[in-house]
Amino acid sequence: MSDTETAAQQQWAFHGGLALPGHKQISTTAGVQNLPLPEQLIIPRQQHIGKPAEPCVSAGEHVLKGQVIAHANDYVCTPIHASSSGNIVSIGKQHVAHPSGLKGTCIVIDTDGKDEWIKLEPTGYEDMNPSHLRNLIREAGIVGMGGAGFPTFIKLNPGIKENIDTLILNGAECEPYISCDDMLMRDRPDEIIAGMRIMRHALQAKHCIIGIEDNKPEACKSLYDALGDATDITITRIRSHYPSGSEKQTIKILTGKEIPTQGLPLDIGVVCHNVATAMAVYRAIELGEPLISRVVTVTGSAVARPGNVNALIGTPISNLLDFTGVDYGNLSRVIIGGPMMGFLLQNRRSPVTRVVNCLLTYSHDEIKPSQPPVLPCIRCGECARVCPVSLLPQQMYWYARARDFDKVQEYNLFDCIECGCCDHVCPSNIPLVQYYRFAKTSISEQEQDRRKADVARDRHDFRLQRLERDKRDRENKRKKKLDALKKSKGDGMDAKQKAIQDALARISKKKAAQNTQPGNISNLTTQQHQLIQEVEKRRARLDPFDPNKKSDHQNENNQ
Amino acid sequence: MATNIDSSPPLTPKTSVSGVMLQVIYALVPGVLAYIWFFGWGVVFNILFAVITALVTEIIMLRLRHRAIMPFITDGSAIVTAILLALALPPVTPWWVIFIGIGFAMVFGKHLFGGLGYNPFNPAMLGYAVLLISFPIEMTVWPLPDMLNETPLGFLDSLIFMFSGNLPQGLSLDGITSATVLDTVKTELGRNLMLSEIYTKPIFGTLGGKGWEWINIGFLAGGAWLIYRRIISWHIPLAVLGGLFIIALLFYIFGAGGLPSPIFHVFSGAAILGAFFIATDPVTASTTLRGQLYFGAGIGILTYIIRTWGGYPDGIAFAVLLMNMAAPTIDYYTKPRVFGHSPDNSDRDDADE
Amino acid sequence: MIAAIVILTALALIFGLMLGFAAVRYRVEDNPVIEQIDAILPQTQCGQCGYPGCSPYAKAIVSGEADINQCPPGGQAGVDALSKLLGIESKPLSNEYGVAQEEKLVAVINEELCIGCTLCIQACPVDAILGASKQMHTVILDECTGCELCLPPCPVECIDMVLLDRNIGNWKWPCPDDAADNIDNIGDDQASTASVSTSA
């Protein structure tokens, strides 16, 4: 079956990359298992690239499964849904899976065990306007599930030119150990293909290709079988060569086109989505279900029963570890994502989010020998040889270390995809990617500072102008008054004298009013009078506008 | 900090600096064995003394610079430098020559620049150049290969000569040494002798100097193994030898037999050792693949120029040092095209410069 | 003789005209150096340099009145950038004018204590404090430059400078050089521990 099709589909190679051991069979022996409903769900408001969603529920409120609990209030943002029914316990800072180990705002739900859905409204898509379709996909909270988490509805917008040549579904899953997409393609091929057809409708794309690394023959076969005689989608096996699943590389392999630097796939008429995203789109449109769960691979040497589990978004990671029988005594560390691009999990209560695709565990004996000292760069150039974007990692490393951020950008730092190939081959064990991440975040911080400085300059200039204007206004007013005064001098009665007399009259009237004693104190004892005086004193001390108070304060300072 | 904020943890045990250096040492074995076979114990003592001096110097320098000693002493780079310098020395070299050479290489060639990875010049070749300029006599008396030598120095004799300068009774340095083939060709051509006459001298073999052919084949085999193991890429060795071969071929053809053949050039002197083991020193070579071709070709051509018209019989050391200087510039102009950039790398982000 | 003078005068005229034309035609719209300096300065408007704001300080630098190392908020990086722009040698930040802060600070008003005197509002150089007379005041954190000019006028000392909160949005990857297990940070006294990991 495949011979003719694979032959027909031309493929292009990319520079560098690595042939890595897959380690996938560890977690593919059993099918996807459903995780039992956790007692508590911790749902972060930031699970995508862009602005965090704004919580729209409050503590104590009861929510149903699939109910929106945080609104999208920006374009690059998606709403967040409750993954199960229950009561909102709190909205506040919780540990989240992020390399910084910092806390993020989460909505915590105590589940009620009923798992009660809101009313689902399947729509179908054939007669739907693509714009409306994208809106539904946004409302379902769908983001790229391969790891980046970019809102999918934006990537389903064909742009102004509306000229999408190829829609690619990325089933490469090139990083070792991870197998959640593989299992999805084996178990749910129909949903993936249906999701792809919805995506094609939204984009009005001409061609559809699913790219799968050739180390997943079962997934390939299952998709072929699901496709049957249909010819609208091509399934292509690509060479297992890390990082073939990176968007830039996948597109290059399948179309021969390169995404221009700082550009989008859209610029070359290609759009690329992950297979799990396609499935989420299918479920959102055909079943009306928002994105509230995902498949996570739990693997590595510290797990007794490695495999893939279907977990609700917000499930604490410790639940997944327990479920797969982690030996905590031997667990050295948990990596979120794969061994090449993943990061260290710092708190096991952190929840599963839409972008957590793999939990990779390392046992103690595995970690110890792999911490050799970092030696100076010997300029061997191996990093440049494996770089899939043909950068010069070594030069970038020198300049990043020297904090010469202009120079490091001249070496195209921002084209780096952080795949970790250079790290992997470095004989001196230099954490190259971390240097690039350091440089990238430093540069964006600098840019932010510059923007802030510009705002401050504008505000300062405006303030100076305002002060200037106020001064002018006061001057004008004074002049006007003077003029008026001069004019009125001609009228027999002196206006100035009159004003003074009026003011004096007002003051004396006021004084008279103040001098009036309260009528009810005339027949009080001296003791009572003393008490009243003390109270008056205390009141004077407390009153900040009393002139005595101010002098007190100054005295304090002088002392 | 780095232990709790990990980017990309290691997947499998991988090549290390010491692993690279160790394989380079393995690859030198066939050539060194051939060298010992033809030139006797002097070679062994040179290497041993050089390695010991290098390690001691390294430890002293690391102490002075307050650096961790174990990771650097076990990386093997000092040993490789020492072996390469020792191989460039005549097998009858007094100990103090080696001492000065290694000392200069390690202190001035390496540690004063900041140690491993920071030196712009190949330390071994820097040490060699200093020795060649300072002690031209000691550096150019080469013993005859054992097969031509009626009284080769034995184990003890070599050791005694190395440390005291005394030869066994009845032997003189002139009796057991001669100029190298490159040296001979150069001086004799200068005296207007024909090549055919020069080649009749006993020190000449089929491809280059007698015995040297085999030593060079040994180094060639070792180098090929390094390329096979992907420790070095083929670019620099091929460019060095190719550059040397092509320029020698041109002058051979246009010189109408008046100049030595390209084969002779490739198989004489340190051309093969230099191409596979010295020019490929990653720290001081060009790092881009295209740059490595320019870098290697530059070494080959400069070597030929120095050999033919310069003041020294062999030119590998000076050619390598000159190209070391040019390496950063070559790298700058041979940046590869980055993914998604137009062929001349001059797109949007560079346009405003 | 006369011919020579005429020719030379004519030549001088022609070249003069050409130069004049070129000066107008190819005029470089230069960015006045004051603006370039101002662009480097951090715009805190704090006055620590001795001038009432960043722009006056930039003018003072150009006139030679002030040195380039008087801006503590800009830090050493700022001094270096100025020296690069002006083509003069960099120098260490003068500690006469204050100490450079590692982390950014912002002003926060303790709303329990604030009496609504509006003095801080008048002091703020970037109008980052909101409030009215006898009403509680508050600082717009996004606009606060951390200049500390609002501290001295406050009669009840209710303004504190606090570290800007590090959150996931503005978190920065640390530089591995700063890590304790970096080889450059391991002295020879720790060599034994390093050797253990090598041999392992």
Q: Which of A411, A320, A331 is nearest to A364 (CA)?
A: A331
Helix axes B41-64, B155-164, angle to 10 degrees: 40
C143 burial (CB, 10 Å; 0-12 / 13-18 / 19+) is middle
Task: State both tokens at B89.
Answer: 């020395």
pLDDT band at A494 (very low <50, low <70, confident <90, very high): low
Residue A230's CB is within 10 A of a number of other CB atoms, namely 9
Cα of C200 to nearest chain B Cα, Å: 12
pLDDT at A293: 92
pLDDT at A302: 87
Question: Does residue A303 have a pLDDT over 60?
Answer: yes
pTM > 0.90: yes or no: no
Q: What is the mean pLDDT of residues B89-100?
A: 90
Residues of chain A found within 8 Å of residue B123, distances taken between Cβ atoms: none
Judge: A340–B75 Cβ closer than 8 Å, yes or no: no
Judge: C126–A369 Cβ closer than 8 Å, yes or no: no
pLDDT at A489: 63
pLDDT band at B41 (very low <50, low <70, confident <90, very high): confident
| Per-residue pLDDT tens digits for A195-246 | 999 999 998 888 899 999 988 999 999 999 998 888 889 999 999 998 998 9
State which residue of chain C sits closest to B114, comparing Cα positions: C184
pLDDT at C196: 35
Alpha helices in chain B (DSSP H): 17-39, 41-64, 70-73, 77-87, 95-107, 123-134, 136-140, 155-164, 173-176, 181-190, 195-198, 212-228, 235-254, 262-267, 271-273, 289-309, 316-333, 348-351
Mode of pairing for the β-strands spanning A293-300 and A358-363: parallel
Closest CB from C176, C178, C194 relative to B68: C194
Least reliable range by pLDDT among A76-85, A124-133, B174-183, C139-148: B174-183
Four-point Cα dihedral B54, B60, B65, B68, nearest 10: 80
Residues of chain C found within 8 Å of residue B70, distances taken between Cβ atoms: 191-192, 194-195, 198
Q: Which of B223, B130, B138, B184 is nearest to B314 (CA)?
A: B184
Q: What is the mean pLDDT of residues B53-65?
A: 93
pLDDT at C193: 39
pLDDT at C85: 84
* Cβ-contact A103, A346 below 8 angstroms: no
pLDDT at B11: 52
Cα–chain center distance at B230:
19
pLDDT at C89: 84
B208 burial (CB, 10 Å; 0-12 / 13-18 / 19+) is buried
| Per-residue pLDDT tens digits for B157-179 | 788 878 877 777 777 777 677 77
Residues of chain B found within 8 Å of residue A373, distances taken between Cβ atoms: 68, 71
Judge: A378–B336 Cβ closer than 8 Å, yes or no: no
* H or E stretch covering A343: strand A343-344
Between A516 and C65, the higher pLDDT residue: C65
| Per-residue pLDDT tens digits for B180-195 | 778 888 777 777 777 7
Rounded-to-integer distance, Cα A527 and Cα A533, Å: 10
Q: What is the mean pLDDT of residues B57-69?
A: 89
Q: Does A469 touch chain C (CB under 8 A)?
A: no
State which residue of chain A sits closest to B14, comparing Cα positions: A425
Between A460 and A160, the higher pLDDT residue: A460
Judge: C181–B67 Cβ closer than 8 Å, yes or no: no
Neighbour order of strands in the sheet with A86-95? A40-44, A103-111, A86-95, A62-63
Q: Give the max Cα distance, chain C.
A: 96
* Cβ-contact B101, B133 below 8 angstroms: no
* Cβ-contact A382, A425 below 8 angstroms: yes
Q: Does A249 touch chain C (CB under 8 A)?
A: no
pLDDT band at B5 (very low <50, low <70, confident <90, very high): very low
Q: Give the max Cα distance, chain B.
A: 78
pLDDT at A184: 92
Rounded-to-integer distance, Cα C171 and Cα A309, Å: 31
Rounded-to-integer distance, Cα B15 and Cα B11, Å: 12
Task: State both tokens at B119.
Answer: 């030196």
pLDDT at C163: 82
Q: What is the mean pLDDT of residues A411-427?
A: 90
pLDDT at A123: 85
Q: Does A374 touch chain C (CB under 8 A)?
A: yes
pLDDT at B69: 82
Helix axes A393-401, A432-488, angle to 10 degrees: 50
State which residue of chain B sits closest to C190, comparing Cα positions: B68
Report percent pLDDT > 70 for chain B: 91
Closest CB from B2, B14, B336 relative to A424: B14
Question: Does residue B219 have a pLDDT over 50?
Answer: yes
Buried b / exposed e along C170-180 (16+ C-beta atoms within 10 A):
eeebbbbbebe
Average pLDDT by stretches of 10, chain C with 200 residues: 93 94 78 81 85 87 86 85 85 82 82 85 87 83 85 88 79 78 49 36
Residue A270's CB is within 10 A of a number of other CB atoms, namely 24
Question: Does residue A546 have a pLDDT over 60?
Answer: no
Closest CB from C145, C167, C197 relative to A371: C197
* Cβ-contact B95, B49 below 8 angstroms: yes
Alpha carbon of C197 to those of A331, A374, A434, B100, C190: distances in Å? 20, 11, 21, 34, 12
| Per-residue pLDDT tens digits for B137-151 | 888 878 877 777 666
Rounded-to-integer distance, Cα A498 and Cα B110, Å: 96
Rounded-to-integer distance, Cα A360 and Cα B328, Å: 41
| Per-residue pLDDT tens digits for B325-341 | 999 999 989 988 888 88
